[in-house]
Amino acid sequence: MSLLNNTRKTESAPRPFALLTSADKTRYWKSLQEFADQEAFQAEAETEFAQTPLQIEADPSRRAFLKASGFTFAGAILTGCSQAPVHKAVPNLAQPEEMVPGRSLYYASTCNGCNASCGLLMKTRDGRPIKLEGNPLHPLSRGGLCAAGQASLLGLYDSHRLHHPLVRGMQATWEDADRAIGSQLETIRREGGPVRFWSTTVTSPAREAVIRRFLAQFKDGQLVEHDPLSSSAILDAHMLTHGARVLPGFHFEKAFVVASFDADFLGTWISPVQFSRAYMEARNPEMQKEAFSFHAQFESRLSLTGCKADSRTVVAPEQLRPWIAQLAALLSKKAGAVLPGPALPPPAHSMDALAEKLWTARGKSLVVCGLQDVHAQVLVNFINHTLGNYGTTLDLAHPSHQHRGSDAALQTLLEEIRSGKIAALFLHGVNPLAQMPRANELSVALKKLPLVVSFAERQDETAGAAHYVCPDHHPLESWSDAEPVSGAVSLSQPAIRPLAGTRPVVESLSTWSGLRVSAYEIVRRHWKEQVFPRQNAEPSFDVFWNKALHDGVAAVTARPAGARPFDSTPVAAALSQPVAGGGEFSLVLYPKVSMLDGRHAYNPWLHELPDPVSKAAWDNYACLSPAAAARLSLKEGDVVRVDAGADGSLDLPVLLQPGQHDNVVAVALGYGRKDSARFAEAGPRWLNWRKPVGENGLVGTNAAPLLRWQDRSLTYTRSAVRLTKTSRTHPLAITQSHHSLTVPKNLAPSSGSTRPIIQEAVLPAYLKDAAAGASHHEVPSQDLWPRDHANDGHRWAMAVDLNACTGCSACVVACQVENNIPVVGKDEMGRRREMHWIRIDRYYSGPPEDVSVAHQPMMCQQCEHAPCETVCPVLATVHSAEGLNQQIYNRCVGTRYCANNCPYKARRFNWFDYPHEDRLANLVLNPDVTVRSRGVMEKCTFCVQRIQEARIEAGNRGAPIADGVIQTACQQSCPTHAIVFGDIHDPGSRVSQLSRQGRAYRVLEEINVRPSVNYLRLVRNRPEKKSEGENHG
């Protein structure tokens, strides 16, 4: 206003050299002219630059003043008329100390991807979680996190989540739902009808306490726990042999000899991250040397665990129990006892050797069994008892709470539901209409019950049949806790304010109990009253709580299972059980590392993750051995009908799976879920776009109808299924079509038919020579060009231990989340245009009936002589001073020459604009990484954003970047620490040490591209073959 009032000459007018005209006595001048003639100079200085609009308006007329003031008032009034787009923008009066915009914060929590309850670090950025990582402080998972766990983050930003409760399928408010449920519960309280709470194993002690308190209000309230991937038989067997229904803690790290009967403990069985880590601890050739564990696997299909086994025996599912019995007999003979029960046929030769190994490693061996067969489990308990493994590798003092479900209890519950006796049924974490056989019958029965309440986050199959759906928070939004193994308690804390109008189960239950307590108070009170007293390291609860919250975990005294000494009476009964069988084919239902029991069926990241064994994505299928497929003249992709008689049939595409029993058809569970209907349009649409879903409009086919009840156990195998070929085909999206490092016979060069891409050695050879298994290729040592690039600083490199890698694919999802890798859909995957920056190559060797499997994580090798760099015409891919091969998206024109010239084919091209329309799902994007557009090349960057972050951090502290500070996303989550990243110029760094090891080799070293990734040879605990050295995998 001052200018308008013609105050041009006054001091307040903005004016150059204001200092000169200030009242100060000291005058400053900049030129003699200025000193001599101040007025003239000033006038000139003011007109030196273009006049501002205000100066033009600076006319002292009344008219101008009114014009301006009128505009000002009108403007002031107008601002009052509109509603500002930000509804609640309350600035932080005091900026929280740790909150810096653009900087990530990590909070410890507990994973809810499955019941294993691994430790979690939630990376949040500007208030939203963008990545889940493993918590290194967690005593079980120790920094690892599986694929499903990491992908569960996307569930938070799932726009299909329920935003409000449903009352008979209609949207309702919480008040309405509470009133209606409350009044019905009141009636039940009065009348005393049975109330059942059906849940997966409740690993959260606080929640369990709330559930039990809630159920205690009723005359007949029961918690029925059931795991869709059940281990019920193990607990039931311990009930028989040890008098306590308990799942022991497994200590693979203490086992020198592991025998597994159909237990996929590295893939999906109970707690794979924990077991993988422990298992690999006993298999580090540098540390263990002779004590390198021996692992024998007996299974009917090729599991991830079978891929790692030193000795793998393919056994029909019905024959597994007789094999266990053989082993039991052999071992009891060694122990000087005779096995009660009938005489057994003479054992196979390999069994003798295994029994010998186990016997030698008494107390340091472990026999596990994944069968849902109590008798088999009783025999396994007997074996472990005979070997003295209880107390060493099997821990009853620290029992596991990860799987406590009881199939028998479930069967009782199902009978109660069918008979309609139940007054109220609560469903949490289970989706029986998709997970149970005879779902139609169950659905009718459920509808007849007076009150069915589901806590489902999404409107799944069962939620559709429930009267009320009271959606639970996403685990990243709520307070909770977990005690996966007795004595190891962990906390779950929210990383974000709830995105929708959901409510934690514990709050719902407490509301219906008449108390309104928040989940936070419930958990905290539970910890104060129940957890805190179980430790005495910390006298103050507040300190204990804060420390537990910070660390995510706390150690407290365990609650032993109260097991009695071993009782061998059930063994005789177990031995005399008849062996089922008959029919040409047996069906084996199995979980995949991505889909598990199907709870992640909404998750595109997991659908897109190729199965590490079959390499197929976006489907389930009928796995058949090549011989079986040939017998039925089936090709890959032909639809076959798996007919189980009265229990129904499934139509599934065939996938040829070497290493599988010739009379077995294996089908993955967890597919064909309602939640996957959303993918009907997935992937970029164009002329030749093919529908990503099957005829049912869903991803895959639900195999749960073929689950089978036997001896009050829900079993995953079934004899006598019939396979009939149909005339239909269903293309599968398989991302690897050549499965061996051996080239086809008719094309084999004279120099040998096997490529040294994966190198491996057997243990005896390795012990003699650490470099055993090396290929004999000459490595070029001379260069045509002088080394004219100074590289004195860091040089980033990676070491990948093929021996430690299980192929679990956690790294693939970790990379996808970290680097904003789009989901391309089934059609694109099938066209071999997957976008994953890191892939798991899987190679078979040996004859199809006795295959050996090796997995190899493959990503950009950041070559020193990168072939991609020289060929790019526009310099879109260049070398950094720190040895990184950088890709500049802005500059890329998309000639794809670099990808063609990459010997590893590690580069990925944006063939289309991949969809990013879901604005909620976009919140998961990592702001440190560019979202790439169509037509540009991309590839692994060694997580350059993390390097950069560490560099800034180190710069701020004025210290060099310490080794191990930078962890790439793939490395961070690797359960077995198979990936190590660091500076190879630092001779003390882990990566340098590993790269100097005897086992280190570089893939395609002989073509002199000088990759920065060192692979460490695979070591198998097998006897030396005569033709050693030819063994390239």
Partner 1 sequence: MAELYTALRQPLIQGGKGFAQVTSDVCAPMERRPTGLWWTAFLISVAALLLGVVTVAYQIRTGIGTWGLNNTVGWAFDITNFVFWIGIGHAGTLISAILFLFRQKWRTSVNRSAEAMTLFAVMCAGIFPVIHMGRPWLAYWIFPYPNFRGPLWINFRSPLAWDAFAISTYFIISLTFWYVGLIPDLATIRDRAKPGLRRSLFAFFSLGWTGSARIWLRYETVYLLLAGLATPLVVSVHTIVSWDFATSVIPGWHTTILPPYFVAGAIFSGMAMVLTLMIIARKVMGLEDYITLRHVDVMSKLVILTSSMVGLAYMTEFFTALYSGNHYEEFTFLNRAFGPMGWAYWIMLSCNVAIPQLLWSRNIRSRVYLVFVISLLINVGMWFERFVIVVTSLHRDYLPSNWTSYSPTVIEVATLVGSFGLFFSCFLLFCRILPVIAIGEVKAVLSYGKPKEEVSA
Residue numbers at the binding site for partner 1 (CB under 8 A): 684, 686-688, 736-741, 743-744, 746-752, 755, 757, 828, 831-834, 839, 841-843, 856, 858, 867, 870-875, 891-897, 899-901, 903-905, 907-913, 934-937, 1003-1004, 1007, 1009
Q: Output the smallest distance, CB 621 to partner 1, in A.
A: 20
CB of 808 to partner 1, least distance (A): 17
**Interacting residues of 188 by C-beta distance below 8 A, sequence separation 6+:** 195, 218, 423, 424, 451
Buried b (16+ CB within 10 A) or exposed e, 994-1014: bbebbbbbbbbbeebbbbbbb
Measured from the CB atom, is 113 or 612 closer to partner 1? 612
Spell out the residues 6+ positions from residue 904 whose beta carbon is closer than 8 angstroms to its own. Answer: 858, 860, 861, 1003, 1004, 1011
| CB of 914 vs partner 1, minimal distance in Å | 10
**Which of 349/776 has CB closer to partner 1?**
776
Residue with Cβ nearer partner 1 (104 or 753): 753
Tell me the closest approach of the beta carbon of residue 800 to partner 1, in angstroms.
Answer: 14
Strands 170-171 and 1018-1020, sheet pairing: unpaired
In the bound state with partner 1, the residue whose beta carbon lies nearer, of 528 and 755, is 755
Rounded CA-CA distance 307/806 in Å is 8
Please say which residue, 280 or 302, places its beta carbon nearer to partner 1. 302
**Residue 936 or residue 970: which is nearer to partner 1 going by CB?**
936
On whether the CB atoms of residues 625 and 665 are closer than 8 A, the answer is no
Shortest spacing between CB 843 and partner 1, in angstroms: 7
Nearer to partner 1, 559 or 879 (CB): 879
> Cβ 785 to partner 1, closest distance in Å?
11
Angle of helix 205-216 versus helix 519-526 axis, rounded to 10: 100
Whichever of 321 and 842 has its CB closer to partner 1, that residue is: 842
Nearest to 270 by CA among 364, 365, 140: 140
Q: Give, in degrees to the nearest 5, the angle at Cα 833 between 829 and 836.
A: 85
- Least Cβ distance, residue 824 to partner 1 (angstroms): 9
Cβ neighbours for 242, distance < 8 A, ≥ 6 positions apart? 381, 396, 561, 563, 564, 565, 566, 567
Beta pairing partners, 654: 622
Which is nearer to partner 1, 281 or 869 (by Cβ)? 869
For 839, the enclosing helix (H) or strand (E) is: strand 839-845
Cβ proximity to partner 1: between 737 and 956 the closer is 737
Q: What is the DSSP letter of 894?
A: -
Measured CA to CA in angstroms, residue 818 lies from 132, 635, 814, 892, 948 at distances of 9, 38, 6, 22, 14
Least Å from the CB of residue 658 to partner 1: 15
* Smallest separation (angstroms) from partner 1 to the CB of 948: 21
Contact 708, 629 (CB under 8 A): no
| Minimum CB distance to partner 1 smaller for 764 or for 935 | 935
* Alpha carbon distances (Å) from 122 to 308, 521, 760, 816: 31, 22, 37, 16
Tell the smallest beta-carbon distance from residue 285 to partner 1 (Å): 25
Q: How long a stretch of residues is the chain?
A: 1033
Which residue number, 873 or 987, has a Cβ lying nearer to partner 1?
A: 873
434 touches 460 (CB < 8 A)? yes
- Return the ∠ at Cα 273 (arms to 271 and 279), rounded to 5°: 95
Closest approach, Cβ 746 to partner 1, in A, equals: 6
d(CA 369, CA 376): 8
- Give yes or no for a contact between 499 and 471, defined as CB atoms under 8 angstroms apart: no
Q: Measured from the CB atom, is 476 or 1009 closer to partner 1? A: 1009
> Which amino acid is residue 364, in one-letter code?
K
The dihedral of CA 760, 761, 766, 772: what is its sign? negative
Shortest Cβ 916–partner 1 spacing (Å): 15
Residue found under tokens 């949490």: 428
CB of 267 to partner 1, least distance (A): 20
CB of 823 to partner 1, least distance (A): 14
Q: Give min distance, CB of 1014 to partner 1, in A.
A: 17
> By C-beta, is 120 or 808 nearer to partner 1?
808
Q: How far apart are CA 21 and CA 9, in angstroms?
A: 11
Q: Are 739 and 626 in contact (CB under 8 A)?
A: no
Residue 659 Cβ vs partner 1, minimum distance, rounded to whole Å: 17
**With respect to partner 1, which residue has the nearer C-beta, 334 or 831?**
831
Name which of 475 and 684 has its Cβ closer to partner 1. Answer: 684
CA-to-CA separations, 402 to 155, 483, 523, 541, 706, in angstroms, rounded: 22, 8, 19, 27, 25
Please answer whether residues 273 and 404 qualify as being in contact, where contact means their C-beta atoms are separated by less than 8 angstroms. Answer: no
Q: CA–CA distance from 553 to each of 64, 145, 168, 291 (Å)?
A: 71, 15, 40, 32
Dihedral, CA of residue 508, residue 416, residue 449 and residue 418, to nearest 10:
140
